[in-house]
C-alpha cells in the first residue's frame, strides 16, 4: 500500500502531519508544523484524504511564497487576464465546496458571519449593497449547534442548508448588481489576491487592468450563480486552474503565451528513469524519486528555467534544517544535482547545470569498523554455528544463514555479491576452488568493474564442508541443473538481493547482544583487510580479494598482474585463532538434498561434467 509522508494514527483516527517551510512559518502564526485530522480510521481512506490535503497545503505554500515575493507587472496581457478570471471563479467555487465538506467550519463560519457580515464584508470584498441590514434578507439566524459529534457522512442540517442558500443568494445578488453597473472596484481585491498567488502585483492603473477586472467580474458572477445552483441540488464542478508554470507568468516562465510544455524536474526524473544509458536499480530510482518529491513539496511545478544558484543555495539551507541527518540532506541534494546535470548535458533542456559546486558536508558519525574478537565469539558461538540449528525465518534462508557469515569473514565479499551466487559460480580454476563473483547471471549485479573477480575458497571453509554443501545442492537441484541458485531457500529481492537476509542478520546479531548499528555484515570487509595487511599482503592484492578499485601507480594499475596463487595466499592470511575451531555441522546443513554425509560429491567431479 502507498505511503503518505506525515500520516499518523492517534487512537483510532488518522491525521496527517505537514511541515511548514521555515521561510513561511511567520506567515502561519509561527508554527513549524500542523497535524490535521482526516476524519477516518480506515487506512486506505486516510491515504486518499491525506494525499489530497498535502497537495493542497503544498500548493498553498508555493502560492504564499510567491505572494511574499510578488513582482509588479508592467501590463496585463490578455492571456494573463484570462488566467486571473479563471482563478477568481475557481476560488469562489473551491471555497464553497470546502465549506460544505467541513461541517464544523461551516457551523462556526455561519455564526461568526451573522455577527460580522455587515461590518466586514465592505472591507474585505466590497461586494455589498449600501445600507444592507446586519443579517441580509433571506438569511435567518442560525441556532447553536447542539450536536458537535454528529455523523460527518450525514451532511449539512436543514437549518445550515437554508442559511447557506440565503448567504449564496445574497452574494449572487450583489455580484449581479456590480456586473450590471460595471463596478470593477468590487472585484479588484479578489483579482489582486489571485495575482499574488502567481507572484505578481498590479493596481487599477496598470495597463490592461480594466480588461482583466472585467473578465474577473464576469467569472465571479458566474461562480456565484454556480454556488446557488449547488444549493438547488445541481452538479457544478470546481474547475481546475492553470498552474504558475502555464499561466503566462513573467516571474516563472520565459513566455507569456500560457501554452506549450513546461519542463520541470519531475519531467527530467521521468526521462532519467526511463533512459537506457545506464542501468537503474530500484533503490536508486526510489531515492531519486524521494528527492524530487521533497523538492516539489517546497516548489511545486517549478520550471527548469527558474532553477538558479540562489534557489539552490536556499534549498540547501532548507535541506539542512529539515532533513533528519546531514547525510540525508546531502543525498537529496546530490540526486537533484545529478538530474540537473542530466537535463543540461544529456537532454540539453538547460544551458548549464545551475547548482554546480553546491555541496553539503556530512561527517560520518557511525563509521564502519572491524569486528572485535568478543563480537565474533558472540556471533559464532551460537547454536546456528555450533550445532547447525537453522533458522525458521524465511528471510534467513536456512542454509544461507550458516554459510553467508562464514563466507563474509573468510572472503570479505559484499553481502549482495554472496546472496546472488549461483551454482555455476563455484568453480575450480587452475586446481583452486573459487567463488566467481560476476554480473553475468540472471539478476546479478556487481558494484564496479573491480568487483568482477575470482576469490579462492578458504581452507577453513573447505574443512567446514562448504564444497560438500555445494555438491549436495547440485544433486538436489531440479534435474541436476547446474545453473540454479546456490541458496535455494533464500528470498532474493529484485535489484537488491541482500535486502531480506540483511534484515534477518540484523535481528540475529541483536539477539546475541550486538544491539548497536555496528558492526554489521559489511564490517566483515573491514575485518579481513587488517588481517591480510598484518600478514604482509600488499594493498593491491587485498583489493583483488575484496573487489576494490586499485589505487596504486599507473604502472601497478595497468601492468600489474596477479596469479590466482598470489590471491589465494592473501585469502589464507585471513585467520581467527581466538575464535577457535568451529565444529563441522554439514550433516545438519545438507537439508535432505539427496546427500550422504559420508560420501559427498566433490567439486572436481562437477567441473568435469560442465
Residue 206: strand, helix, or coil: coil
547 with 405, same domain? yes
Whose CA is closest to 350, among 298, 302, 313?
A: 302
* pLDDT attached to residue 276: 59
Cell readout for 383 is 547454536
Residues 38 and 128 in one domain: no
* Same domain? 12 vs 138: no
Q: How far is CA 31 from CA 4, 34, 65, 181, 515, in A?
A: 21, 7, 16, 44, 37
> Which pLDDT does position 561 carry in this prediction?
65
pLDDT in the model for residue 608: 35
Question: Which residue among 252, 278, 312 closes a domain?
Answer: 252
Same domain for 396 and 502, yes or no, is: yes
Whole-number pLDDT of residue 365: 55
Residue 279 and residue 205 in one domain: no
The Cα–Cα gap between 389 and 384 comes to 4
Cell numbers placing 122: 465592505
Contact by Cβ (8 Å): 225, 172: yes
Own/partner pairs, 323-331, CB within 8 angstroms, 24+ separation: 325/362, 326/360, 326/361, 326/362, 326/363, 327/362, 327/364, 329/360, 329/362, 330/359, 330/360, 330/361, 330/362, 331/287, 331/291
Q: What's the domain range around 396? A: 373-609
Task: Give a yes or no: residue 419 inside a domain.
Answer: yes
According to the model, what pLDDT value does residue 325 have? Answer: 85
Q: Are residues 519 and 399 in the same domain?
A: yes
Residues 288 and 402 in one domain: no
Same domain, 463 and 526: yes
pTM, 2 dp: 0.47
Per-position b or e across 462-475, b if 16+ CB within 10 A of its CB: eebbbbbbbbbbbe
Task: Report yes or no on 593 lying in a domain.
Answer: yes
- What distance in Å separates the CA atoms of residue 447 and residue 281, rounded to the nearest whole number? 11
Q: How many residues does the chain have?
A: 610
Do the beta carbons of residue 415 and residue 525 sit within 8 Å? no
> How big is the chain by its Cα radius of gyration, in Å?
34
338 and 470 co-located in one domain: no
CA 402 to chain centroid, in Å, comes to 34
| Whether residue 430 is found in the same domain as residue 574 | yes
Write out 491-525 in H/E/C secondary structure.
CCECCECCHHHHHHHHHHHHHCCCCCCCCCCCHHH
Give 10-residue mean pLDDT values along the chain (610 residues): 74 88 79 86 85 79 72 82 91 85 59 52 42 38 47 71 85 92 92 85 90 94 94 88 48 35 81 68 79 86 86 91 88 94 90 92 74 94 93 90 96 92 91 88 69 91 93 73 83 84 93 88 93 93 85 42 88 93 69 39 36
The three grid cell numbers given for residue 167, joined into one nine-digit string = 448567504
Q: Tell me how far apart the alpha carbons of residues 541 and 358 are, in angstroms, rounded to a whole number.
A: 37
Last residue of a domain, one of 20, 42, 69: 69
Q: Are residues 130 and 218 in the same domain?
A: yes
Residue 34: DSSP 8-state:
E
Give pLDDT, residue 46. Answer: 86
Tell me if 359 is assigned to some domain.
no
The whole-angstrom separation of Cα 468 and Cα 592 is: 13
The rounded distance, in Å, linking the Cα atoms of 57 and 59 is: 5
When divided into structural domains, the chain yields a total of: 4
The verdict on 320 and 442 lying in the same domain is no
Q: Which three cell numbers stand for residue 455?
A: 576469490
pLDDT reported for residue 249: 46
Amino acid at each position: 500500500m502507498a505511503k503518505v509522508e506525515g500520516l499518523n494514527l492517534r487512537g483510532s483516527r488518522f491525521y496527517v502531519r505537514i511541515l511548514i517551510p521555515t521561510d513561511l512559518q511567520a506567515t502561519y502564526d509561527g508554527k513549524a508544523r500542523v497535524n490535521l485530522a482526516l476524519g477516518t480510521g480506515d487506512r486506505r481512506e486516510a491515504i486518499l484524504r491525506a494525499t489530497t490535503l498535502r497537495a493542497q497545503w503544498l500548493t498553498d505554500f508555493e502560492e504564499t511564497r510567491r505572494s511574499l515575493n510578488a513582482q509588479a507587472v508592467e501590463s496585463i496581457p490578455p492571456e494573463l487576464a484570462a488566467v486571473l478570471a479563471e482563478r477568481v471563479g475557481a476560488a469562489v467555487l473551491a471555497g464553497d465546496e470546502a465549506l460544505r465538506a467541513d461541517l464544523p467550519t461551516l457551523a462556526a463560519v455561519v455564526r461568526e458571519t451573522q455577527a460580522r457580515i455587515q461590518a466586514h464584508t465592505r472591507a474585505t470584498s466590497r461586494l455589498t449593497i449600501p445600507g444592507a441590514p446586519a443579517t441580509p434578507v433571506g438569511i435567518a439566524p442560525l441556532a447553536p449547534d447542539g450536536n458537535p459529534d454528529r455523523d460527518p457522512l450525514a451532511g449539512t442540517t436543514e437549518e445550515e442548508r437554508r442559511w447557506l442558500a440565503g448567504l449564496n443568494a445574497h452574494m449572487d445578488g450583489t455580484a449581479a448588481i456590480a456586473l450590471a453597473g460595471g463596478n470593477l472596484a468590487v472585484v479588484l481585491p479578489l483579482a489582486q489576491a489571485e495575482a499574488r498567488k502567481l507572484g505578481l502585483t498590479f493596481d487599477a492603473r496598470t495597463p490592461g487592468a480594466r480588461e482583466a477586472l472585467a473578465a474577473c467580474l464576469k467569472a465571479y458572477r458566474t461562480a456565484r450563480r454556480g454556488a446557488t445552483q449547488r444549493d438547488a441540488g445541481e452538479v457544478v464542478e470546481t474547475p481546475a486552474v492553470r498552474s504558475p508554470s502555464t499561466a503566462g507568468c513573467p516571474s516563472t516562465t520565459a513566455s507569456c503565451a500560457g501554452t506549450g510544455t513546461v519542463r520541470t524536474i519531475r519531467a527530467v526524473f521521468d526521462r532519467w528513469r526511463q533512459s537506457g544509458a545506464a542501468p537503474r536499480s530500484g533503490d536508486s530510482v526510489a531515492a531519486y524519486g524521494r528527492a524530487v518529491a521533497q523538492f516539489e513539496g517546497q516548489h511545486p511545478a517549478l520550471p527548469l528555467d527558474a532553477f538558479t544558484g540562489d534557489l539552490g543555495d536556499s534549498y540547501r539551507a532548507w535541506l539542512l534544517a529539515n532533513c533528519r541527518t546531514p547525510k540525508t540532506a546531502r543525498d537529496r541534494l546530490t540526486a537533484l544535482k545529478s538530474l540537473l546535470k542530466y537535463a543540461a548535458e544529456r537532454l540539453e533542456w538547460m544551458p548549464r547545470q545551475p547548482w554546480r559546486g553546491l555541496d553539503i558536508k556530512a561527517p560520518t558519525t557511525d563509521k564502519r569498523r572491524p569486528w572485535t574478537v568478543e563480537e565474533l565469539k558472540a556471533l559464532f558461538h551460537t547454536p546456528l554455528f555450533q550445532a547447525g540449528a537453522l533458522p525458521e525465518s524465511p528471510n534467513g534462508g536456512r542454509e544461507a544463514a550458516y554459510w553467508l557469515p562464514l563466507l563474509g569473514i573468510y572472503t570479505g565479499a559484499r553481502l549482495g555479491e554472496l546472496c546472488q551466487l549461483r551454482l555455476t559460480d563455484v568453480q575450480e580454476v587452475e586446481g583452486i576452488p573459487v567463488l566467481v563473483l560476476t554480473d553475468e547471471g540472471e539478476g546479478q549485479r556487481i558494484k564496479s568493474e573491480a568487483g568482477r573477480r575470482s576469490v579462492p575458497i578458504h581452507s577453513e571453509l573447505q574443512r567446514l564442508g562448504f564444497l560438500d554443501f555445494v555438491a549436495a545442492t547440485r544433486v538436489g537441484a531440479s534435474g541436476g541443473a547446474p545453473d540454479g541458485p546456490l541458496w535455494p531457500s533464500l528470498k532474493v529481492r529484485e535489484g537488491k538481493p541482500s535486502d531480506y537476509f540483511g534484515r534477518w542478520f540484523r535481528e540475529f546479531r541483536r539477539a546475541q547482544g550486538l544491539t548497536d548499528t555496528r558492526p554489521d555484515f559489511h564490517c566483515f570487509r573491514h575485518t579481513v583487510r587488517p588481517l591480510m595487511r598484518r600478514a604482509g599482503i600488499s594493498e593491491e592484492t587485498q583489493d583483488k580479494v575484496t573487489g576494490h578499485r586499485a589505487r596504486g601507480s599507473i604502472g601497478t594499475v595497468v601492468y600489474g598482474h596477479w596469479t590466482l596463487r598470489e590471491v589465494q595466499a592473501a585469502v589464507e592470511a585471513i585467520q581467527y585463532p581466538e575464535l577457535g575451531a568451529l565444529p563441522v555441522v554439514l550433516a545438519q546443513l545438507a537439508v535432505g538434498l539427496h546427500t550422504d554425509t559420508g560420501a559427498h560429491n566433490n567439486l572436481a567431479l562437477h567441473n568435469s561434467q560442465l
